[in-house]
Homo-oligomer: A and B are copies of this chain.
Amino acid sequence: MDTKTHSDLQEQLTAYIVGKKLRKTEERYTILQQISEYPGHFDIISLHEKLESLNFHVSKATLYNNLNLFIEAGLIVRHFITPQNVQYELRSLAETHQHLICTYCGDVKEIRNQALKTNACNLKLRRFTPEFSSLYIYGTCSRCTYRMNRDRRKREKQETQKKIK
């Protein structure tokens, strides 16, 4: 685990909390600590279970509240894969990759492609200050491509046999 990154996160959180005159609660720092240990995406349920397994009990409401706080503080980002599949990720991690999302099964993969990195955050826009950008590439994963081809072949075979009958 990259402890430097984690203490950076702590500092960022503290700066945000102090700036907004909010309160430094144990929950906030413990939740952030656990988030910093994820090597990639996580969802609310997984995070809740992770905390429970450490005997650190927080309510879902508190998790939601604090994840929103972390998003506003720029520490994490939220990926809306589907309305039923919302994933969170450290912003510093999210900046390193793009997402492939299968339109059929909803599977998410990450790719690292330098050519796709946009300079969206350096844009000078009127009436908007960009902080972070995400590129989502939708398409068909190999498993779904295979499944669909197989189903089509099966269907065509049935058609042929019907005609023979």
Contact = CB atoms under 8 A, between A and B. Distances in A.
Copies per assembly: 2
Contacts of A81: 80
Nearest to A107: B128
Interface string A129-145: 11111111111111001
* Chain A interface size, under 10 / 10 to 19 / 20 to 34 / 35 or more: 35 or more
A140 B127 CA distance: 9
Interface string A57-75: 0000000000000011000
B140 A129 contact: yes
B128 A141 contact: yes
Given A128-B100, A131-B103, A140-B131, A80 B82 contact: yes
Contact of A120 (B21, B77, B127, B137): B137
A131 B138 CA distance: 6
Q: Is the interface of A mostly helix, strand, loop or mixed?
A: strand
A39 interface: no
A164 interface: no
Given A100-B125, A111-B125, A135 B133 contact: yes
Nearest to A104: B72
A150 interface: no
16 contacts: A21-B155, A72-B103, A77-B138, A80-B82, A83-B86, A109-B127, A109-B128, A118-B135, A127-B141, A129-B139, A129-B145, A130-B137, A130-B139, A131-B139, A132-B138, A135-B136
